[in-house]
Structure 1
Amino acid sequence: PPGTAAGAGTSPWSTPGGTAFDETYRGRRIRGVWTPERGAGGTGQWYVTVDGRPLHLMRRADGTWLSMVDHYGSYRTPLEAARGAVDEMGPGRRLRDLAPGPVGAGAPYAGSYTGGEHGGVHA
């Protein structure tokens, strides 16, 4: 099947209010963990990986999510944003790790992918 979730629909980790998820989608392992900040009153951040490589997510002002791979899409949850990134990358593509070296020295961003036919401008 195109997407296969471990415990799809039954795991609290796959719900919008969950604090973690772990599934296989289109043959890719997607994992995410919410990491709360200490004493920050419920704030924190998601750490999401696709096949063990970090996927950078950002929250939009309207509460939806985007990824560095598919930054034109808006998704209700970090899991949906990760699935959108997998769809955008297509088969055979993978995320790059953040290259060592100084910030701004031309290194790719964590969560970027190795370009290809699925990149470009979206209307």
Structure 2
Amino acid sequence: MSRLTRRQALGAVTGAAAGMALVGVATASANSAPEKDRAAAPAGVKGPAPFDEVFQGRHIQGLPDHAHAAHAGHSTGFRVLVDGRELHVMQHGKSGWSSAINHYERFASPRDAARTAVTTLKGAAVVPFDPTA
């Protein structure tokens, strides 16, 4: 008969506590979007606020995309452009947004995802995302 040792119990409790702490940090990060990103969406339209700005010398835009809302079966209804080229963004429920450039990071808004992608690209052009490739 196998018995649980103190070391195994302590490891399980520590792992569970660390997991809960990570979930809390991720939730707090996703919920800390600046008010301008949340509140500026037009009345009756769900989703992030549109934006159009120059960041680190690159023109970034984010706008609702009702015409192309379904992209490879995934629907975000929001389009992000960097210098006129589409940056594929994904919404992960309430845990935030990510981009094809920074796929494993979560951001509070598509604007934050676009800004981080621009920083990561270091001047390189955005290559179009092809989900069938």
User: Which interval holds the TM-score relative to the shorter structure?
Assistant: 0.5 to 0.7
SS in 2 for 1:81: helix
Q: Which runs of 5+ in 1 are unaligned?
A: 1-11, 38-42, 107-123
Which residue identity is paired with 2:53? E
Deviation at 1:15, TM superposition (A): 2.3
Identity of aligned residues (%): 30
Deviation at 1:86, TM superposition (A): 0.6
1:79 aligned residue (111, 114, 131)? 111
Deviation at 1:36, TM superposition (A): 4.7
Tell me the TM-score normalized by structure 2: 0.54
Aligned to 2:91: 59
SS in 2 for 1:54: strand
Larger Rg over CA atoms: 2
Aligned to 2:38: 16
Q: Structure 1 pair 89/30, CA: closer, same or farther in 2 (3 Å)? A: same
Which residue identity is paired with 1:27? G
Which residue identity is paired with 1:77? S
> CA offsets, 1:8-27, max 9 Å, x none?
xxxx9x52333310000000
1:30 aligned residue (44, 49, 60)? 60
CA contact (8 A) 2:87 2:128 kept: no
Q: Which aligned segments of 4 or more residues in structure 1 are displaced greater than 3 angstroms?
A: none
Aligned to 1:109: none
Deviation at 1:52, TM superposition (A): 0.3
Supply the RMSD in Å over aligned alpha carbons: 2.6
Q: Structure 1 pair 88/58, CA: closer, same or farther in 2 (3 Å)? A: same
SS in 1 for 2:125: coil
In the TM superposition, what are the counterparts of 1:40-119 in structure 2 within 5 Å?
45-91=77-123, 93-97=124-128, 104=132, 106=133
Q: Which runs of 5+ in 2 are unaligned?
A: 1-34, 42-48, 68-74
SS in 2 for 1:24: strand
* Number of equivalenced pairs: 84
Deviation at 1:90, TM superposition (A): 1.0
